[in-house]
Amino acid sequence: MGENINFERADGKTISGYYAVPDAGDDAPGIVVLQEWWGLNDQIKGVADRFAKEGYRALVPDLYRGKVALDVAEAEHLMTRLDFGDAATQDISGALRHLKTGNTKVGVIGFCMGGILSILAAARTDDADVAIPWYGLPPEGSMEPGDIKIPLQGHYALKDEHFTPAQVDALEAKLKETGVNYEFYRYEADHGFGNETSERYNPEATKLAWQRSLDFLAKHIR
């Protein structure tokens, strides 16, 4: 359904990405989809295709510049080398701007590493109209929660060893304290529960989180 395209980062440099377009074409709202630590693989392209079927123009920026991890060690290496600040304020900002045409609204959704970046983009840029992180939390001190001026919807796993419930609770307390328009959901599931290629995939939690995400997008950017 989609195709590879080139677009400009916020600083004018060129980056590539996977772009899926719905039947409604260029008039449809946009959603930037952010990868897990594996890279721009077939699974995350499938997420973009799914959004296109739901009526959104979906763009996945290639944050790893063509590299895709096939095992955990390689994924960790690629993620460790990624400049998160640059990715959020340049790559992702550029993707959001590419999708924003006329009065069209755009959102950003990310999974795991992409979840971290979706929150950073919400806090450190003015380009998104809504953000939806799935199991990802920015490191302490990497952003100010009060800088988030857009609606935020988070989806987190109660059995997550990478982003623990206590860490989620701590971020939620700061969001509440600073008056951010947010809603968080917790699921009786493991980290990465929404990836259908993972052994931790949880169909029930995924179905519910997807519906909540789609309802949130429909409310705020349709």
User: Which domains are delineated in the chain?
Assistant: 3-221 (3.40.50.1820)
Q: What is the mean pLDDT of residues 24-47?
A: 94
pLDDT at 102 over 80: no
Question: What is the model's pLDDT at position 157?
Answer: 98
User: Whole-number mean pLDDT of the chain?
Assistant: 96
pLDDT at 26 over 90: no
Measured distance CA(47)–CA(42) in Å, rounded = 9
pLDDT at 122 over 90: yes
Q: What is the mean pLDDT of residues 64-79?
A: 96
Task: Identify which of 149, 203, 156 has the alpha carbon closest to the alpha carbon of residue 178.
Answer: 149
Question: What is the model's pLDDT at position 70?
Answer: 94
Q: Which residues contact 150 (CB under 8 A, 6 or more apart)?
A: 122, 128, 129, 130, 131, 181
State the pLDDT confidence band at 36, using cuts at 50, 70 and 90.
very high
Question: What is the model's pLDDT at position 111?
Answer: 98
Beta bridge partners of 156: 186
**pTM value?**
0.97
The tens digit of pLDDT for each residue in 127-147 reads 999 999 999 999 988 999 999
Measured distance CA(175)–CA(58) in Å, rounded = 27
DSSP 8-class letter at 147: G
Q: What is the mean pLDDT of residues 15-34?
A: 93
